[in-house]
Amino acid sequence: FFFFFFFSFFFFFFFFFFFFFFFFFLFFFFFFFLGLHTRSTRYLNAVAMGQPRHDLQGQVVEAMAPEHVFHALVESFRRRKPRDGEDLQLKLRRRIGMAYIASDLSRDDFLAKVQVKDEATQAMLAAAMQEVAEFDAKAEALATAHAASGKSVAEFADMYGMHPAAVERHLHRAAQTKAIAARPAAAPAAPEAADEDEVAEPAAAKADDSAAAE
């Protein structure tokens, strides 16, 4: 009986510690390699493209968050080494502008999401937003002129010496900015209800003061 109890006790703890350390190292290596993957340049480039997230079956799960796209862009360009004559700052500024347009957000909403603290990145973001603002002004003017002309996109583009695709791009952006501006503003958060004890205490104090005055 003693040996049976001893070996049972021994095997119980042996298998307990074996499975404990097995799953411990399994989860450790899983999160370790997951961290390496999420910090890899390949992963950053994939996020910077702004494509929606997919599950293991290849089905779309959710859209990529604008702030994730923005920060992946900044980090991926920070790691890149410029080629001869390549202006990475210009490319990054344009990519940020494209990410902002693709986010379908207003300027204030986009800035609130990205939460930039680095001064150099703030300057880059401000320059990109300024370029988009200039493009938006041009797109609005072009959309107004196109509507007044009564011509098709191809005819309008030929009249102004533009490529039809460029006209389409300006018209699409003008419609997008108009739709964004027409959205109702987000309702402010409702103030939290005061605690019943906090409300009852001033009321009780007021009643006591009234009774004392009488």
DSSP letters along 35-65, please? HHHHTSHHHHHHHHTTPPEE-TTS-EEEPPP
Residues in contact with 37: Cβ distance below 8 Å, sequence separation at least 6, in sequence order: 43
Q: What pLDDT is attached to residue 180?
A: 95
Q: What pLDDT is attached to residue 83?
A: 82
Phi, psi of 53 (to 5 degrees): -75, 145
Decide: residue 135, CB within 10 A, 0-12 exposed, 13-18 middle, 19+ buried: middle
Using CA atoms, how far apart are residues 197 and 132, in angstroms rounded to an integer? 52
Q: What pLDDT is attached to residue 60?
A: 83
Q: What pLDDT is attached to residue 84?
A: 80
Q: What pLDDT is attached to residue 6?
A: 54
Q: What pLDDT is attached to residue 74?
A: 92
Over the stretch 16-30, which tens digit does the pLDDT of each residue have? 666 665 555 555 444
Q: Where are the beta strands (DSSP E) in 92-212?
A: none
Q: Do 73 and 48 contact (CB within 8 A), yes or no?
A: yes
Q: What pLDDT is attached to residue 24?
A: 54
Over the stretch 100-147, which tens digit does the pLDDT of each residue have? 999 999 999 999 999 998 899 999 999 999 999 999 999 999 999 999
Q: Which residues of the chain have pLDDT under 50?
A: 28-38, 189, 191-214
Q: What pLDDT is attached to residue 1?
A: 52
Q: What pLDDT is attached to residue 15?
A: 61
Q: What pLDDT is attached to residue 207?
A: 45
